[in-house]
Amino acid sequence: MTAGVGRVVALARKEWREIVRDRIFFSLAFVLPVVLMFVFGYGISQDVENMPLVVVDYDGTPSSRAYIDRYSHCEHFEFRGVVGSEREAEAMIARASARLMLVVGAGFEDDLVSGRTATVQTFIDGSSVMTRIPRALEAYVDAINAAASADLQVTWLSRRLGVPPARAAILLRPVRLDVRYLYNPALESIWSVAPSLIMFVLVFVAPMLMALGVVREKESGAIYNIYASTITRGEFLLGKLVPNIAIAGVNAAVLWGIATGYFGAPFHGSVACFAVGTFAYIVCTTSLGLVLSLAVRTQQTTLMIASISGVILGFQYSGFFNPVQAMTGFPWLLAHAFPPMYYLDVIEGTFLKGMGFAGLWRELAALAGFATLYLAISYALFHKRGRA
């Protein structure tokens, strides 16, 4: 027993020295996670703000200018001015100088005064890769237009009935819808993005570092020293896992500090629950890298597979961009077949929802199950005698 522990410790020390001495591996272990956190933290945003708006006003009356002011003073839009024709405005959209165009037709004020419906056209750039952006712009335009129409109706009814505007507003809207957002009242996207990046960085970096460490020994021939030694399969795998788990743990703590201290994401839940979930997830990701390293032979192949799978699992099938609840069929099954989705639930629950072990035990159990599964697969794949 003592000899086995000594062999594990010796192998773990050897692995640690190789990581620290190699600049590439050191950067991959400690620099890349922080860089990814800041790059994606600033680059990924769910907010649609300051979108450039251009206006064509064929009416040119006080009523049309008052209507346009509602858009120009809105924080969601960056007003690029009034142009003389739709062709000029379309050219601005084509050059990406504007993302939407508002066209107020001639007779806008006359229609309002006479009680007819005034028509305003809105053209939105639909070429964006993210379809949620034009849809969000449409929602903003609808909301502003609805508010303008409601104010006109209140003014008309107040004058018609001779009642105060407040009373007229009640008559027009007898039922008021009061919407509140739970857990993130101000809808600060960084509160969700920054903690979620912990999940992505760990599934992107930890398997890659783990896999490259083993494959490098295959390419250099150092693995044959392991084959010829008295170390057992379990001792070899444990000696490889321990330093990589420790490195991932340090990275998780640093990323947690960046998310809360720098990006200002609140943490309302159980620290112990988050720590347990993070440890289980780290074991999952490092064990997944170990499985990958035992299945491939070259560092280039390992790097390619680890990076691609990390991006796909971390972004596409974890719930980071698309809610898993909205998935059906194969995408839904794929999301449930890997650990990132469960760890993302742990992050959302502990950071924003104030949850602990009682509410997240299913996710923690799933992560523990994945960790056990990947460790078992690693043990089954590794053999002391290399295959020809």
Burial class of residue 316, CB neighbours in 10 A (0-12, 13-18, 19+): middle
* Region of residue 337 (left: phi > 0; alpha: psi -120 to 50; beta: else): alpha
Of the residues 172, 196, 212, which one is the last residue of a structural domain? 172
180 belongs to a structural domain: no
Residue 344 shares a structural domain with residue 250: yes
Residue 282 domain flag: yes
| E-assigned strand segments in 202-291 | none
Strands 100-104 and 77-83: unpaired
User: Domain check: are 273 and 353 in the same one?
Assistant: yes
Residue 122 near residue 136 (C-beta atoms within 8 A): no
Q: Do 349 and 253 have their domain in common?
A: yes
Question: Residue 15's closest CA among 179, 195, 226, 177?
Answer: 226
- Domain-located, residue 12: no
**Is the residue at 115 inside a domain?**
yes
108 and 79 in a common domain: yes
Could you tell me if residue 201 is left (phi over 0), alpha (psi between -120 and 50 degrees) or otherwise beta? Answer: alpha
- Residue 25 has a pLDDT of 86
Which tokens hold the place of 111?
A: 């229609």
β-bridge partners, 123:
101
pLDDT at 72: 87
Return the residue matching tokens 């993005």: 193
Q: Are residues 228 and 327 in the same domain?
A: yes
Strand-by-strand arrangement of the 77-83 sheet: 77-83, 51-57, 100-104, 120-124
Domain with residue 59: its CATH number is: 3.40.1710.10
Tell me, what's the pLDDT at 388? 44
According to the model, what pLDDT value does residue 352 have?
93
Per-residue pLDDT, 385: 59
Residue 5 domain flag: no
Is residue 209 within 8 Å of 302, Cβ to Cβ?
no
In a structure prediction context, what are the per-residue pLDDT tens digits for the chain, which is 388 residues long? 576 787 888 888 888 888 888 888 899 899 999 999 999 998 887 677 889 999 999 999 999 999 999 998 888 899 998 998 999 999 999 998 899 999 999 989 898 888 888 889 999 998 876 677 888 888 999 999 998 888 888 888 888 888 888 888 888 888 888 888 889 888 888 999 999 999 999 999 999 998 888 888 777 777 777 777 778 888 888 888 999 999 999 999 999 999 999 999 999 999 999 999 999 999 999 999 988 888 888 888 888 888 899 989 898 899 888 888 888 899 999 999 999 999 999 999 999 999 999 999 999 999 999 999 999 998 888 776 544 4
Are residues 37 and 61 located together in one domain of the fold?
Answer: no
193 with 209, same domain: the answer is yes
For the chain, the residue count is 388
2 in any annotated domain: no
Give the separation between CA 234 and CA 216, rounded to whole angstroms: 20
- Structural domains counted in the chain: 2
Element (H, E) at 87: helix 86-94
Same structural domain for residues 359 and 246?
yes
Same domain? For 214 and 305 the reply is yes
Domain membership flag for residue 178:
no
Q: Measured between alpha carbons, how far is 373 from 280 in angstroms, rounded to an integer?
A: 12
Is the same domain home to 197 and 309?
yes
Tell me the residue range of the domain where 331 lies. Answer: 18-44+188-381
Strands 77-83, 51-57: pairing is parallel
Q: Where a domain ends, among 172, 196, 215? A: 172
Asked if residue 131 and residue 251 are part of one domain, the reply reads no
Question: Among 33, 12, 27, which residue's Cα sits nearest to residue 243?
Answer: 12
- pLDDT at position 37 is 95
Q: How far is CA 67 from the centre of its chain?
A: 36
Strands (E), the chain: 51-57, 77-83, 100-104, 120-124
> Do both 40 and 55 map to the same domain?
no
Q: How high is the pLDDT of residue 285? A: 95
The answer as to whether 192 is a domain residue is yes
